[in-house]
Structure 1
Amino acid sequence: MPANRNALIRYRAIDNCLTNKFRRWTLEALIEAVSETLYEYEGMDKGISRRTIQADLQMMRSDKLGYNAPIVVLEKKYYTYEDPAYSITQIPLTGQDLGRISEAVEVLKQFKGFSHFGQLSGVVQKLEAHVYSAATNQRTVIDFERNDNLKGLAFLDSLYQSIIQKKAIRITYQSFKARLPNQFCFHIWWLKEFNNRWFAVGVREHQLEVYNLALDRILSIESANEIPYRDNPDLDADTYYHDVIGVTVSPRTRPGRVLIWVATEHAPYVETKPIHHSQQVIERRMDGIVIQLTVQLNFELEREILGFADGMMVLSPPALQKRIWQKLRNGLAKYEMDTPDEQSV
């Protein structure tokens, strides 16, 4: 492991400690916390020396890394930040930092034309937007969809590390339907983002069914190192989600042919942004187009169709057509019940 990566993990661990005002941090406590973090992230079970942590504290105090951390010692024993609001994660970017990031962006942009690096496009645009905003002290010119209030994002890094390090974890989870939380061992295979929500995908201990656990329903995570990790050598995310829209996959259901009429005013949007990669236009009419999808019937497909209201109509299969019709009918009934009489408006 490169020394600089080791050091950055230690600095971040120390910062997490010193920003925690609910505990008083001695040098020994810092050593213990940093050692646990290195074991969690890198699998290092060798303890960190007092000299290393003392050198880290001095480095964080200095301007060599741009931290200038206001670390003080209280009662000749307890380490803390003199400024309660300080954190190394909140320091502004320097001109040198911006220059290096700009160079990195230019390098990443060279890969955007290659199929294996297609997903870098959004990352590069975000970096370009942040660098431009910071360098010119102006508002960003690119606004990305995000949900800053989404619960569970704090678990992303821990879940990612459990996948990379192939370690089982113990999750406390409460679904929307459950009255009480449930704790179980979980083996994560990959992380999935859909509709601006994140899911941890894997299997429970001694079970074969694949689960999508929404991060916003996770209450806590802890290591389960005593349980051997169940690897997944034969299944990847692209294959698993190939025949569905969203994250709901039925291993016992084959994809079927779905025909949908799309109104003229919505047709250009659906053609330029397909609902699914299998989408094909099989007929063009005066009042719109007919598209074909080869997908499993699931909740996300229904929600996509309902989102167009009267701009879409399922032509087949009959079972899906009936479900959409029933949902629209139930929704209309609620409006008719709650809408004021036109004469009273």
Structure 2
Amino acid sequence: MAIHDKNIRLMHIASFLKSKPKGASFKEILKHLEELYHRESFPKDLASSQKTFDRDKKLLLEMGIEIKFKRSTMTYQVINDEFSESSQTIFDNILLLNAYKQTENNSGIMIFEKQSSRGLENLNGLLHAIQNRKTISFNYTKHWENIPHNKVLEPYALKEFKNRWYLLANEVDGKDFFLKTFGLDRISDFEVNSKTFKKQDVDIDKLFVNSFGIISTLDKIPETIVLSFDYEQGKFVKTLPIHHSQKVLIDNDSEYRIELILVPTDDFYHELLTHTGRMKIISPENVKDKYFEFIKSAKK
């Protein structure tokens, strides 16, 4: 079986069992895969044998998804799901792509948000440059200037935020090493240069561990922020956490209260504004004051 088909099978097995908290028998799993074969025109061996399924379990375990067999009910259950956030995103995107392929000849079934270019046409070249330590050059146009500036950079990583991708790179002619962010959608005339560079030892994750968005807050002290949401809005925040540090303090029929540990930036306050009218800032006072400054500015 092609690697693509095997990956699709693994994802469908994991998704199916995640949707069955009480578990499912091998017969039910097999039936689900067979239905996918008939519905989506996958190869016949998508519906795997018990031997193949046992191999699938081992592969899923390597991906962080542990499936156990419960002999008392003769069912399989997902008992541990440590799929990384980045892996989950890729997992979800493949499932979306596969679903789109099924419906592309039937408009109106899957309605995607209309978006302008995200600059992903340069993705392969950027990855090649990062992995091979090649300098890159391109013209970069800031939103507020509308004038392209030529940049020669040492690329380090790519970061996603709010469905946009950003390049983290150091300017070659900069006096000091400093990783800046560049939106991929504002890049033109992209080139990978033959010149290589010596990569600095940088912990990219550490740069953003206390950040919300694409602004690094490495040298700033994070604050403990407590937010309270009404019941309905709380359900939304529960399923789509604001930040990876989110900790639940109260969860009942009248309030959903959380604690965040981060450095508040403009991106963070913009996020809070999307919850205006259904959220209260409990603490600290400086975050509350800054939030009201944004509201007053919006009223003007």
TM-score normalized with structure 1 length: 0.58
Which has the larger displacement, 241-250 or 185-194?
A: 241-250
State whether structure 2 residue 6 is matched by structure 1 residue 103. Answer: yes
The 8 Å contact of residues 172 and 221 in structure 1, kept in 2 or not, is answered as yes
Give the gaps of 5 or more residues in structure 1.
1-95, 335-345
The 8 Å contact of residues 135 and 197 in structure 2, kept in 1 or not, is answered as yes
Correspondent of 1:261 among 228, 240, 244: 228
Counterparts of 1:284 and 1:100 in 2: how far apart (Å)? Answer: 43
- Residues 40-59 of structure 1 mapped to structure 2, 5 A cutoff: none
Task: Give deviations 1:237-292, integer Å, cap 9, x for gaps.
Answer: x3222111221113331211111121222112222322112111224577423311
Over the aligned positions, Cα root-mean-square deviation in angstroms equals 3.2
Task: Give deviations 1:142-190, integer Å, cap 9, x for gaps.
Answer: 9596655224222212111111111011222121233532222211111
Counterparts of 1:144 and 1:124 in 2: how far apart (Å)? Answer: 20
The amino acid across from 1:215 in the alignment is: L
The amino acid across from 1:279 in the alignment is: Q
Residues 315 and 134 of structure 1: CA distance in aligned 2, closer, same or farther (over 3 Å)? closer
Structure 1 residue 324: Cα displacement: 1.3
**Corresponding residue number in structure 2 for 1:231:** 199
Correspondent of 2:272 among 282, 305, 312: 305
Which has the larger displacement, 194-203 or 263-272?
A: 263-272
Counterparts of 1:179 and 1:136 in 2: how far apart (Å)? Answer: 39
- Residues 276-315 of structure 1 mapped to structure 2, 5 A cutoff: 276-283=243-250, 287-315=254-282
Structure 1 residue 128: Cα displacement: 4.8
The 8 Å contact of residues 161 and 213 in structure 2, kept in 1 or not, is answered as yes
Counterparts of 2:100 and 2:250 in 1: how far apart (Å)? Answer: 46
The amino acid across from 2:285 in the alignment is: P
Counterparts of 1:135 and 1:272 in 2: how far apart (Å)? Answer: 27
Counterparts of 2:255 and 2:179 in 1: how far apart (Å)? Answer: 39
State whether structure 2 residue 76 is matched by structure 1 residue 173. Answer: no
State whether structure 2 residue 129 is matched by structure 1 residue 162. Answer: yes
Which has the larger displacement, 110-119 or 298-307?
A: 110-119
Residues 142 and 129 of structure 1: CA distance in aligned 2, closer, same or farther (over 3 Å)? farther
The amino acid across from 1:105 in the alignment is: I
Number of residue pairs aligned between Structure 1 and Structure 2: 234
The 8 Å contact of residues 119 and 187 in structure 2, kept in 1 or not, is answered as yes
Q: Percent identity?
A: 19
Structure 1 residue 133: Cα displacement: 6.0
Residues 189 and 314 of structure 1: CA distance in aligned 2, closer, same or farther (over 3 Å)? same
Give the gaps of 5 or more residues in structure 2.
15-55, 65-81
Correspondent of 1:194 among 161, 170, 173: 161
SS in 2 for 1:192: strand
The amino acid across from 1:268 in the alignment is: K
Bigger Rg, which one:
1
- Residues 77-116 of structure 1 mapped to structure 2, 5 A cutoff: 101-106=4-9, 110=56, 111-113=59-61, 114-115=63-64
Counterparts of 1:100 and 1:140 in 2: how far apart (Å)? Answer: 29
Task: Give deviations 1:183-203, integer Å, cap 9, x for gaps.
Answer: 222111111111111100121
Structure 1 residue 101: Cα displacement: 3.5
**Corresponding residue number in structure 1 for 2:189:** 220
State whether structure 2 residue 123 is matched by structure 1 residue 152. Answer: no
TM-score normalized with structure 2 length: 0.66
Counterparts of 1:149 and 1:289 in 2: how far apart (Å)? Answer: 35
**Corresponding residue number in structure 1 for 2:49:** none
Task: Give deviations 1:282-329, integer Å, cap 9, x for gaps.
Answer: 245774233110001112211211111111122222222112112223
